Amino acid sequence: MGKSTIFNRVIGDRLAIVEDKPGVTRDRIYGTGEWNGKSFSIVDTGGIELDGEDEIMKSVRMQAELAVEEADVIIFMVDAKTGLTLADEEVAQMLFRSRKPVVVAVNKVDNHGRMEDIYEFFGLGFGSPIAISGSHGTGIGDLLDEAVSKLPELEEDGYDEDVIKVALIGRPNVGKSSLVNALLGEERVIVSDVAGTTRDAIDTPFEKDGQRYVLIDTAGMRKRGKVYESTEKYSVMRSLKAIERADVVLILINAEEGIIEQDKHIAGYAHEAGKASVFVVNKWDAVDKDDKTMQLFSQNIRDHFLFMTYAPIVFLSALTKSRLHKLLPVINHVSEQHALRIQTHLLNDVISDAVAINPPPTDKGRRLRINYVTQVAVRPPTIVIFVNAPEIMHFSYERYLENKIRAAFNFEGTPVRLFTRRKSDED
């Protein structure tokens, strides 16, 4: 039907916050975009496959319930060439019961002559359908105008700036709930769960040694039911809202099972969202160990997460509370690094030394000249490099400069974003 084409246009052509970077593995069912000044997460449910009568209700219900459960606004994609089908009507009935805003997008309206094909979709009862063409890109702006206008206004968290917001993410059965309980049990200052914002989160505040924290978990992570138990990949979607609100993301890995592909998907989103991150290897008590086990496991993490070599690794057991005392100091440290601001003259000294050791590349006789460098933001640290010709800045040289910056200022636990800009007279 072309959903993936539309999805890619939204996150790729409009504002590709989710970038293609070497080593980053992402689950392509989700992404991030922006339209009319509003940022949003977008999820491609993968489609409803109707393989036969026995599969119709099972497939329709699973896909529709997942979409309904996670979304603030639902884009209901239908096909102008196929016309209105029984499956469309079945999904429409479920969407009605959700009481959530629905926008009907009629795809494959590839020319003006096909405009009359959209009229039968008025019968779905969701108002005026919007004609689009994924292949030609027409109508996407109208679709986003309508969908974004229906998004709810997000409320502020209401937490003071010195509160560290910590999201626990990871695939099912990795021990997120056990770790929450271990942290709260150890501090003996359990605060009743506080309903979060319109993001459907559950926040649990606590305090330790004068530092206040909030543990963020999405409501979906705690739910039970056949949809969630049978569709493990959708735990990624339920992690997105928690990540967006967090200062520090704990990426939990099951020590017994090791690393699987979904761990990369989840970690990749935390990286791309620019959050401070810590790998937490849970259930370490259940692993047979010798003096090299931890070192080998750490190297395995580094090999699988080449794009997150900055993230520290903590081994612990939420069940026995072994090594649990190591976690909060690491959270504090990476939170500080995430908010670290470096003075401009210090940054320029480091870059000058780096350039002297390894001069910038040339391209067709032109040499890249770095004029100066400045940090423009924190959380994550964001650095702009002003040069004479941004187009000849090679990613490998940019990575070299990032490594030199990290060697000088650490930035442990946080991504560092580098942007290359052309120096103007105003600059």
Would the pLDDT of 192 be above 70?
A: no
Name the packing angle between helices 344-357 and 395-409 (round to 10°).
120
Judged by average pLDDT, the poorest of 144-158, 191-205, 351-365, 392-406 is: 191-205
Q: Looking at this protein, which amino acid is placed at residue 67?
A: A
Q: Is the pTM here over 0.75, yes or no?
A: no
Please report which confidence band the pLDDT of residue 155 belongs to, taking 50, 70 and 90 as the band edges: low
Find the domain containing 136 and state its range.
3-149
Question: Is there a binding annotation on residue 283?
Answer: yes
Asked if 381 and 289 sit in the same domain, the reply is no
Q: Does residue 156 fall inside a structural domain?
A: no
More confident call, 125 vs 229: 125
Mean pLDDT on 127-143: 88
Which of these three, 335, 367, 398, is where a domain ends? Answer: 335
What's the mean pLDDT in 261-272? 83
Chain segment 327-379, per-residue pLDDT in tens: 999 999 999 999 999 999 999 999 999 999 999 988 878 889 999 999 999 99
Is 108 marked within a binding site? yes
- Has 413 been labeled as part of a binding site? no
Q: Residue 120: which CATH number?
A: 3.40.50.300
Which residues are registered as beta bridge partners of 382?
377, 417
**Does residue 172 have a known ligand-binding role?**
yes
Question: Is the Cβ–Cβ distance between 196 and 216 less than 8 Å?
Answer: yes
Question: Does any domain span residue 22?
Answer: yes
User: CA-CA distance, 234 to 360, in Å (whole number)?
Assistant: 44
- Average pLDDT estimate for 265-271: 85
Backbone torsions φ then ψ of 240, nearest 5 degrees? -60, -45
Q: How many domains does the chain have?
A: 3
Is 106 annotated in a binding site? The answer is: no
105 in a labelled binding site: no
- Are 239 and 309 in the same domain? yes
Check residue 283 and give its pLDDT.
93
Q: Is residue 154 part of a domain?
A: no
**Known binder of ligand: residue 24?**
no
For residue range 373-416, list pLDDT tens digits in order: 999 999 999 999 999 999 999 999 999 999 999 999 999 999 99
Q: Which two tokens stand for residue 210?
A: 């004068």
Q: Is 420 known as a binding-site position? A: no
Q: Is 13 annotated as a binding residue?
A: no
- Whether residues 293 and 407 share a domain: the answer is no
**Percentage of the chain exceeding pLDDT 90:** 43
Mean pLDDT, rounded, for 191-215: 66
Out of 22-26, 27-31, 239-243, 263-267, which region has the weakest mean confidence (pLDDT)? 22-26
pLDDT score of 177: 79
251 annotated binding-site participant = no
pLDDT tens, 299-323?
999 999 999 999 999 999 998 999 9
Residue 77 lies in a domain: yes
Identify whether 158 is part of a domain.
no
Known binder of ligand: residue 173?
yes
Q: With 70 as the cut, is the pLDDT of residue 229 above it?
A: no
**Residue 216 annotated as binding?**
no
Task: Please indicate if the annotation marks 403 as binding a ligand.
Answer: no
Phi, psi of 221 (to 5 degrees): -65, -25
Name the least confident of 14-23, 67-76, 107-116, 371-380.
14-23
352 annotated binding-site participant: no
Three-state SS sequence of the chain: CCHHHHHHHHHHHHCCCCCCCCCCCCCCCEEEEEECCEEEEEECCCCCCCCCHHHHHHHHHHHHHHHHHHCCCEEEEEECCCCCCHHHHHHHHHHHHHCCCEEEEEECCCCHHHHHHHHHHHHHCCCCCEECECCCCECHHHHHHHHHHCCCCCCCCCCCCCCEEEEEECCCCCCHHHHHHHHHHHHCCCCCCEECCCCCEEEEEEEECCEEEEEEEEHHHHCCCHHHHHCHHHHHHHHHHHHHHCCEEEEEEECCCCCCHHHHHHHHHHHHCCCEEEEEEECHHHCCCCCCHHHHHHHHHHHHCHHHCCCCEEECCCCCCCCHHHHHHHHHHHHHHHCCCCCHHHHHHHHHHHHHHCCCCEECCEECCEEEEEEEECCCCEEEEEECCHHHCCHHHHHHHHHHHHHHHCCCCCCCEEEEEECCCCC
Please say which residue of 302, 335, 368 terminates a domain: 335
**Is 36 annotated in some ligand binding site?**
no
- The pLDDT value recorded for residue 294 is 95
Q: Which of 30-39, 60-69, 120-129, 210-219 has the lowest mean pLDDT?
A: 60-69
Shared domain for 176 and 325, answered yes or no, is yes
Asked if residue 127 belongs to a known ligand binding site, the reply is no
Residue 142 is assigned to a ligand binding site: no
> Nearest 5°: phi and psi at 252?
-85, 135
Predicted local distance difference test score (pLDDT) of residue 61: 57
Any idea what the CATH number is for the domain that residue 357 is in? 3.30.300.20
If asked whether residues 241 and 379 sit together in one domain, one would say no
- pLDDT of 236 reads 53
Q: Is 170 annotated as a binding-site member?
A: yes
Residue 241, marked binder:
no
Query: So what's the pLDDT on residue 191?
Result: 36
Q: Say yes or no: 117 and 234 in one domain.
A: no
| b/e 292-314 (16+ beta carbons within 10 angstroms → b) | eebeebeeebeebbebbebbbbb
In a domain, 155, yes or no: no
Annotated binding residue 332: no
Same domain membership, residue 322 and residue 351: no
User: Please, what is the average pLDDT of the chain?
Assistant: 80
Mark whether 208 and 279 lie in a shared domain: yes
- More confidently predicted of 170 and 73: 73
Top mean-pLDDT range of 162-171, 225-234, 259-268: 162-171
Residue 145 lies in a domain: yes
225 is in an annotated binding site: no
Whole-number pLDDT of residue 3: 62
For 116, the token pair is 């009359």
Question: Are 81 and 190 contained in the same domain?
Answer: no
Higher pLDDT, 423 or 88: 88
- Regarding whether 314 and 285 lie in a shared domain, the answer is yes
Question: Binding residue per annotation — 221?
Answer: yes
Are residue 300 and residue 414 in the same domain, yes or no? no
Residue that finishes a domain, picked among 294, 310, 335: 335
Confidence of residue 281 (pLDDT cuts 50, 70, 90): very high
Query: Does the annotation list 218 as a binding residue?
Result: yes
Within-domain flag for 159: no
Question: Domain check: are 182 and 330 in the same one?
Answer: yes
Which amino acid type is present at position 13? D
Q: CA separation (Å) from 232 to 118, 171, 237, 288?
A: 36, 7, 10, 27
Q: Stretch 242-271: mean pLDDT, rounded?
A: 87
* Two structure tokens written together for 346: 């210090």
